[in-house]
Structure 1
Amino acid sequence: MKSRSCASFDIICKSLHIMGRLNREFEATMRVLMLCLATLLMAVTPAGAADHCAVGVYRFEDGGFIDVAPGAGDGLRWRLPDGRTGALTEQAGAGWTSTMGWTGRPDGTEITLDCAQGNLRFNGRMAARIALRVVETQFAVDGAMLAGRLLLPEGGDKVPLVVLVHGAERTAARQSYALQRMFPAAGIAAFVYDKRGTGASTGHYTHDFATLAADAVAAMAEARRLAGKRVTRAGYQAGSQGGWVAPLAARMEPVDFVIVSFGLAVSPAAAEHELLATDMARAGFGAAETKKALELSQAIETLIDSNFQSGYERIAELRSRYSPEPWFSKARGSVVAPVLAMDEAQLRQVGPGIAPGISLYYDPMPVLRNLTVPQLWVLAGDDAVAPPGETMRRLAYLTAAGRHVTSALYPGADHGLYLYETYASGERVSTRAPDGYFTMMRDFIQEGRIKGNYGATLAGPNP
C-alpha cells in the first residue's frame, strides 16, 4: 500500500492497500488495473521472505528496538518505533542495501544481519534478537478454522493484550504485520490471525462486517485463553476496514479499549462520495459537477449491490452523457475510476469475487453511539482512501455526547498512516510513518490514555 502503482477500490478492493495505492492519473490506473485484479482474485499470500532467519525484533543496548519483517519479493524491511523504515535487498556477496521507505532510493543505512548469532548491526549499533514467547494456534468460528499467533513479551510480568484486526487485504497477517512483534517489544502481548480465506485460515474471504466482527471476538477469546493470567487489560487495534469491524466486535463482547487507525465512522458509500467531492474541489469544479459525479457513483453502487449482475445500462448511459465534459476524467474516487476502466464482460467476470458480502450503506454510528469502551482513532489528514473529514466530525459529536473517544489527526499522512512524496506524475510513494504514531498507540494500550499530542492534532478526552 506504499506506492500508488496498483489500483485501489476503497469499497471493493481495499485488499490491495498493502501492495499498492490508487494512482490518480487515469492512464496509470489503466496500465495496472488488470494485474491488480488478477492478484486480488488469486487470494494467495506472497511467500516473500517470510521464512528468512532474520525476521524478528531486536533490542539495542539503550533499550530501543528495531523490527525486521518480510519485504517485497525476497527482500526484508526494517522499522523503528519512530516511524522510519527501509527496504532491504540482499546483494550477492555484498550484504544488504537499504532504500528509504518505498522510494527505492538509497538511504545511507548500514545494516548487517547475523542469523547465527541472533543479532544485527544497524548504523554501528548492535542489537540482539528479543526472545519473545510465540504460540501458534488454530481456532474455529462460524464454519472456518482461523490460524492465529500469540506473541508475549519476555519474562512473566503481567501485560496488556492487543488483538490485531486486519483490513481488507488478502495477504496473511501472520506474515505481514510488523506490529505483532513491535508491541511485545514494547511490553504488550499481541495476537495476530489470518483473516478467513487468507493465509493458513480456511473459510470464504468476505467483507461482511458482522462475520468479521464475530471472528475478532473469537480471536480475542483465544488470545485470552493462551495468555492466561498474564493479561491485565485487552482490546483491539484495527486498520482501515477494521475500523468498521473492531467497534462492532467490542459491542458484541466488551473489551478494555479499541484503537482504529486510518478507518472510517461513515459508510463505505459515504466515504466514496466524500472522495469524489474532494476530487471535484481539487480540480476546480463546483456543486453542479459534484452532483453529476455522485450520480455516477450511485449507479456503480447499484452495480456492486447486484453482485455485478445488473446496472450496466445505467452506467453506459451516464458514461455517454458525461464523458465529453471536463470534470469526468477528474472523478476518480477509489471505486469510480477502476470500474469505468473495465467493460461489462470484465466486470461480470471479476466483480463477484472482489468484495463478497460488502454492505455499502453500513452506518457505524449506531454501534459507536452505544459503545462505552475507550477509543483512540488515529487518522491520516491526507488520506486518499479513507477521507477523514466527516469521520472527524462524527467523532467530535461522540465526544461531546460523553463517549470516551480521542481522535488524532496526522496532517500530511496518507492511508496506512504513511508520510509520502509526490512524483511529477501525481503518484504518491510512502516514505515513513509519523514519529509518535506507534508511541501513542503503546501508551493508550498500556495506560488507557495518551500523554501528549505525539505530533498529531488531537481532539477528545486528553490530559
Structure 2
Amino acid sequence: MRQPIRLLVVSVRFLLVAASGILASLPAFSESLEHCFVGNYHLEDRSDVDISPSVDGTLRWRKFDGTTGALHPQANGTWTSTRGWTKAADGMVVSFAGCDGNAIRFGGIAGTRTDFDVHEITFESHGTRLVGRLVLPRGEAKVPIVVLVHGSEHDSALTSYSLQRMLPAQGIGAFVYDKRGTGKSGGTYTQDYSLLAYDAVAAATTTRSFAGARLGSIGFQGGSQAGWVVPLAASRTAVDFAIVGFGLAVNAIDEDQQSVELQLSEKGYSRGEIRDALKVARAAEKVIASGFSNGFAELDRLRSRYSGARWYKDLRGDYTYLILPRSEAELRIMAPEFDWHTPWNYDPMPVLRSSRTPQLWILGGEDYDAPSRETRKRLQSLIAEGRDYTVAYYKNAEHGITLFEVDATGERISTRYAPGYFQLIRDFALHGTVSGQYGDAELTRPLRHD
C-alpha cells in the first residue's frame, strides 16, 4: 500500500478514490492530541522536526532533510516510529512533555517547540468565505512569504499542511488556507482551475494586507493539481516567484494517457500492446470528460475487444481503472459525485509561455500520477527560449517527490522525501533561484544563470 496522505499531494487518481468513500472511512484525528503536540520543534542537534496530525490515531514527523515516519502511541506515554509510510519500525522513540509543555525528546535528543507569530484570518473570494492562517517567524524583519496553494485534496490545509511551520522555521513566512468546500472554508468543492486561481490571488492579496511591513517578497507554492492553478494565479497578480511540485504542463487527459504508457512500459509490454491499451484508456477518458453522459458505446466495444488481452489486468492510468469495471448504468449514477467542473482539456502552455514570474518546477521520474517526461521536455523548451524557469528532476522519485520500495505484491511503499526537496523550496523562496546540489536532483536553470 502506498502512502495514504502526502504533504500537499493528492492526485486526480487518489482524489477519485477518496470520493468513492475510502477516505471517508478513515477515523478523524484526535483533537486533543492535535492541540497538544502538533508543531515544529528545534532540537539540541540544531535540526528541526515537524509533528503533524495523521490518521488512525497517529502523528507524522518530518525533518527538513526529507526523512519522515509515523508515530504510534504506546501505553507508557511514549510514541514509537515506523519508517516513511511503511510498517517497519525504525527504532525511533519520541516523547512529549504533556499538553501544557513545549518540550520533545526525539530519538534521545531534547528539543523545544518553536513559537511563531500566527494570525487566523477570514477573507472572501468570488462571494465565498475562506479561512486562512498567516504564520511568520518571530521578530520584525522582512521575510519572504509563500502562499500555499492546494492540490486536489478534500482535506483541510489548515490541519494537514506541515509547510506552514517548516518554512517559518527556516525564516520564511507561510499563508495557508482551506480552499472552498474544504475544512473551515465555505463554498462548494471544485476543480475549476480558473476559480481556484482567483482564490489563490485573493489569498495573496490578504497576505500582503496582513503582513504589512514584514513582507519582503511573495510567491505561490503548490503540488500536483496546483501545477495548473499556480501559474494561472501568478499570471493574475504580481508575485516574485512560483514553485510547483509534481505538476503538469499537459492537460488532464494527457496525464492519464502518459500514466498508462509509463506503467505498462515499466511492466515490459510491447509498443503495440501499449497502443491498444491507450485506445481503451482514451475511450474511458472521453466518458469521464463528458460528465458520464456519452461515449459508452465505444468504451463497451473496446472493453469487449481487449478484455482478454494479457495487459488488460494491468491497465490503470490515473483514473481509467475506475471506469473500466463499471457498466454504463453504474457510471451514470457516479456522475453527480464527480461534478467538480474539471477542465479536462485545459492547455497550460499559453500561460506558461507568457509568464514573467521566476518559476521552480520539481519533478519525479517515477511519478505514475503525474508522469513528468513530456512536462520536463516542455519546460526545458521554455528555458531554451529564454524563459525564467528552473527544473529540478529526481529520477527515482514518485508523486510527492518521495522515494519508495516495492513490496512482494508489486505495490510501492514510500519511505521518505527525496534529499534536497525541502531545501529547493526554501532556497527558491529566499533567493528566486537555486544553487549547489540538492540530493541527486538534475537541475536545468534559466539561461541567465548559466
TM (norm. structure 1) is 0.90
Alignment pair present for 1:364 and 2:348: yes
Corresponding residue pairs, total: 443
User: Closer, same or farther in 2 for the Cα pair 1:389/1:425, shift >3 Å?
Assistant: same
Cα separation, 2, equivalents of 1:164 and 1:11:
17
Cα separation, 1, equivalents of 2:158 and 2:435:
30
Structure 2 equivalent of residue 270 of structure 1? 254
Mean Cα displacement is larger for which, 91-100 or 42-51?
A: 42-51
State the AA in 2 paired with 1:3. Answer: Q
Cα separation, 1, equivalents of 2:175 and 2:27:
19
Task: Say which SS state the counterpart of residue 290 (structure 1) adopts.
Answer: helix
| Cα deviation, residue 288, structure 1 | 2.9
Structure 2 equivalent of residue 283 of structure 1? 267
State the AA in 2 paired with 1:73. Answer: D
Cα separation, 1, equivalents of 2:327 and 2:11:
19
Cα separation, 1, equivalents of 2:149 and 2:54:
21
Listed as ranges, the gaps of 5+ residues in structure 1 are 17-32
Contact 2:48–2:64 (8 Å) recurs in 1: yes
User: Closer, same or farther in 2 for the Cα pair 1:251/1:44, shift >3 Å?
Assistant: farther
User: Closer, same or farther in 2 for the Cα pair 1:145/1:2, shift >3 Å?
Assistant: farther
| Cα deviation, residue 305, structure 1 | 2.3
Structure 2 equivalent of residue 166 of structure 1? 150
Contact 2:379–2:389 (8 Å) recurs in 1: yes
| Cα deviation, residue 112, structure 1 | 1.1
Any residues of structure 2 matched to 1:40-59 within 5 Å, and which?
46-48=28-30, 51-59=34-42
Contact 2:61–2:68 (8 Å) recurs in 1: yes
User: Closer, same or farther in 2 for the Cα pair 1:143/1:297, shift >3 Å?
Assistant: farther
| Cα deviation, residue 275, structure 1 | 1.5
| Cα deviation, residue 292, structure 1 | 2.1
Counterpart of 1:224 (choices 208, 225, 235) is 208
Task: Say which SS state the counterpart of residue 77 (structure 1) adopts.
Answer: strand
Structure 2 equivalent of residue 99 of structure 1? 82
Deviation by residue 1:314-365 (Cα, 9 ceiling, x = unmatched):
2111111111122222322121112113333332223332351111111111
Alignment pair present for 1:448 and 2:432: yes
| Cα deviation, residue 194, structure 1 | 0.8
| Cα deviation, residue 143, structure 1 | 2.7
Counterpart of 2:222 (choices 215, 228, 238) is 238
State the AA in 1 paired with 2:73. Answer: E
Structure 1 equivalent of residue 15 of structure 2? 15
User: Closer, same or farther in 2 for the Cα pair 1:178/1:109, shift >3 Å?
Assistant: same
Cα separation, 2, equivalents of 1:284 and 1:135:
53
Structure 2 equivalent of residue 460 of structure 1? 445
Alignment pair present for 1:61 and 2:49: no
Structure 2 equivalent of residue 120 of structure 1? 104
| Cα deviation, residue 94, structure 1 | 4.2
Cα separation, 1, equivalents of 2:182 and 2:11:
19
Task: Say which SS state the counterpart of residue 368 (structure 2) adopts.
Answer: coil
Structure 1 equivalent of residue 283 of structure 2? 299
Contact 2:26–2:56 (8 Å) recurs in 1: no
Cα separation, 2, equivalents of 1:436 and 1:325:
42
Structure 2 equivalent of residue 352 of structure 1? 336
Structure 2 equivalent of residue 209 of structure 1? 193
Cα separation, 2, equivalents of 1:449 and 1:225:
26
| Cα deviation, residue 160, structure 1 | 0.3
Deviation by residue 1:395-441 (Cα, 9 ceiling, x = unmatched):
10000111110100112111011111111111111111011111111
User: Closer, same or farther in 2 for the Cα pair 1:47/1:233, shift >3 Å?
Assistant: same
Contact 2:280–2:299 (8 Å) recurs in 1: yes
User: Closer, same or farther in 2 for the Cα pair 1:347/1:177, shift >3 Å?
Assistant: same
Task: Say which SS state the counterpart of residue 230 (structure 2) adopts.
Answer: helix
Structure 2 equivalent of residue 139 of structure 1? 123
Cα separation, 2, equivalents of 1:224 and 1:44:
37
| Cα deviation, residue 209, structure 1 | 0.6
Listed as ranges, the gaps of 5+ residues in structure 2 are none
TM (norm. structure 2) is 0.93
| Cα deviation, residue 36, structure 1 | 6.1
Task: Say which SS state the counterpart of residue 133 (structure 2) adopts.
Answer: strand
Task: Say which SS state the counterpart of residue 163 (structure 1) adopts.
Answer: strand
State the AA in 1 paired with 2:153. Answer: E
Mean Cα displacement is larger for which, 60-69 or 383-392?
A: 60-69
Counterpart of 1:311 (choices 290, 295, 301) is 295
Task: Say which SS state the counterpart of residue 89 (structure 2) adopts.
Answer: coil
Cα separation, 1, equivalents of 2:202 and 2:30:
29
Contact 1:82–1:436 (8 Å) recurs in 2: yes
Contact 1:261–1:379 (8 Å) recurs in 2: yes
User: Closer, same or farther in 2 for the Cα pair 1:424/1:212, shift >3 Å?
Assistant: same
CA RMSD across the alignment: 2.3
Percent same amino acid among aligned pairs? 44
Alignment pair present for 1:261 and 2:272: no
Counterpart of 1:76 (choices 56, 59, 68) is 59
User: Closer, same or farther in 2 for the Cα pair 1:45/1:200, shift >3 Å?
Assistant: farther
| Cα deviation, residue 15, structure 1 | 2.7
Deviation by residue 1:73-112 (Cα, 9 ceiling, x = unmatched):
2211111100111111111234211111110111111211
Task: Say which SS state the counterpart of residue 224 (structure 1) adopts.
Answer: helix
Contact 1:58–1:129 (8 Å) recurs in 2: yes
Cα separation, 1, equivalents of 2:371 and 2:114:
38
Counterpart of 2:411 (choices 424, 427, 431) is 427
Contact 2:11–2:370 (8 Å) recurs in 1: no
User: Closer, same or farther in 2 for the Cα pair 1:296/1:10, shift >3 Å?
Assistant: farther
| Cα deviation, residue 225, structure 1 | 1.1
